[in-house]
C-alpha cells in the first residue's frame, strides 16, 4: 500500500506535531513547511484534474485517496484551491472542496481561522457558476462565528482562547473550577493538533465532575479526527487504553499505512483496543 505524500512528510521530513509552530493566521493549525505546502497544493491540483476527467486509472484513484486524506492542516491550501476551481466551468471540484472546507470550518473554534476564511473564500473569483456554493460556505462561517461568540458570552469565557499557547491553556484548565468556563477551555483544546491537546483532554476525562468528564470523552474522539498521521502513530503506544483505541479507530477510518504499528495491539491487555486494532487492520487490507 502506498503512503500519501502528507503521511510520508509527517513521518520522515516534518517536525513532530508537538514541536510545530502554530500558523500565524490560525493558532489552532500547525504551520506547514514550504515543501509540505507545495505538496498539498499538488494533491489538490491532481484531485481537480481527476474530478474533471483528465486524470484517470490508478493515478486518478490515488489522487482522490490523497485528497480525502487531507486534514485541517490543509485548510489554507484548500481555500486557494476552491477559488481556483470556482473559476472553472466544471462544477464538481469546487463543490467537493467546499464541502470539505465546510466540515473543517463548521467544527473549529478558531475565530482567527474563520475570519481569514470569510475574507478569502471567493476572492478573485469572477465566474458566476459557483456563486451559490461560495455564498453557502460564507453563510456557514458567519453562523459558526456567531455561535462561538454567543457561547462565549453565555458561559462567561473570554473570547480569543485560540490565542492561548497549549501550556497556558493547560494551566487555565487546571485552575478553573466553573463548569461552563471549563467546558469552553476543553472545547478549545479539542480543536488543536499535537499530543499536548490529547493530554489536556485526558485531564478533563479524569475530572470528578461527570459533565466535564463526559464532554471530554467526546471531545477526545473528535480531536483525534483532526490529528496528523504522525501523532496518531505515536498514540498507539499511549498508556491510556482509551487513547490507543481511538487512535487505532482513526487509523483504520483514514486507511493510514500503519499495519505494522497496529499488530502489537492485537495482544493488548484491553479488549476494546484489541477489537479496534483488528477492525483497523481489516480496513487496511
What mean pLDDT is predicted for residues 118-123?
A: 92
For the chain, percent of residues with pLDDT exceeding 90: 56
C-beta separation of 198 from 168 below 8 A: no
CA distance 147 to 218: 19
CA distance 166 to 177: 19
Mean pLDDT of all residues in the chain? 86
Distance CA 124, CA 102 (A): 20
pLDDT at 109: 85
Residue 8 has pLDDT above 50, yes or no: no
Domains detected in the chain = 5-155 (no CATH), 166-284 (1.25.10.10)
* pLDDT band of 193, cuts 50, 70, 90: confident
CA pseudo-torsion sign 141, 144, 146, 148: negative
Which triple of cell numbers denotes residue 280? Answer: 483497523
Amino acid at each position: 500500500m502506498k503512503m500519501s505524500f502528507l503521511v510520508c512528510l509527517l513521518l520522515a521530513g516534518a517536525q513532530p506535531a508537538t514541536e510545530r509552530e502554530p500558523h500565524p493566521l490560525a493558532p489552532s493549525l500547525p504551520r506547514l513547511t514550504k515543501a509540505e505546502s507545495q505538496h498539498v497544493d499538488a494533491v489538490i491540483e491532481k484531485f481537480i484534474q481527476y474530478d474533471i476527467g483528465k486524470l484517470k486509472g490508478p493515478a486518478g484513484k490515488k489522487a482522490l485517496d490523497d485528497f480525502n486524506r487531507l486534514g485541517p492542516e490543509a485548510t489554507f491550501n484548500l481555500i486557494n484551491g476552491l477559488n481556483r476551481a470556482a473559476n472553472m466551468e466544471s462544477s464538481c471540484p469546487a463543490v467537493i472542496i467546499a464541502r470539505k472546507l465546510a466540515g473543517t470550518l463548521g467544527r473549529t473554534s478558531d475565530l482567527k481561522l474563520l475570519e481569514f476564511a470569510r475574507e478569502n473564500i471567493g476572492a478573485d473569483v469572477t465566474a458566476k457558476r459557483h456563486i451559490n456554493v461560495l455564498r453557502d460556505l460564507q453563510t456557514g462561517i458567519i453562523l459558526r462565528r456567531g455561535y462561538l461568540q454567543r457561547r462565549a458570552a453565555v458561559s462567561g469565557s473570554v473570547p480569543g482562547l485560540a490565542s492561548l499557547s497549549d501550556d497556558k491553556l493547560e494551566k487555565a484548565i487546571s485552575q478553573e473550577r466553573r463548569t461552563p468556563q471549563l467546558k469552553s477551555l476543553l472545547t478549545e483544546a479539542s480543536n488543536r493538533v499535537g499530543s499536548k491537546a490529547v493530554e489536556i483532554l485526558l485531564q478533563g476525562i479524569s475530572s470528578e465532575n461527570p459533565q466535564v468528564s463526559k464532554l471530554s470523552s467526546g471531545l477526545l474522539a473528535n480531536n483525534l479526527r483532526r490529528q496528523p498521521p504522525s501523532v496518531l502513530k505515536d498514540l498507539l503506544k499511549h498508556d491510556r487504553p482509551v487513547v490507543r483505541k481511538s487512535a487505532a479507530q482513526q487509523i483504520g477510518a483514514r486507511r493510514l499505512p500503519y499495519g505494522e504499528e497496529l499488530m502489537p495491539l492485537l495482544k493488548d491487555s484491553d479488549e476494546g483496543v484489541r477489537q479496534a486494532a483488528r477492525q483497523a487492520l481489516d480496513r487496511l487490507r
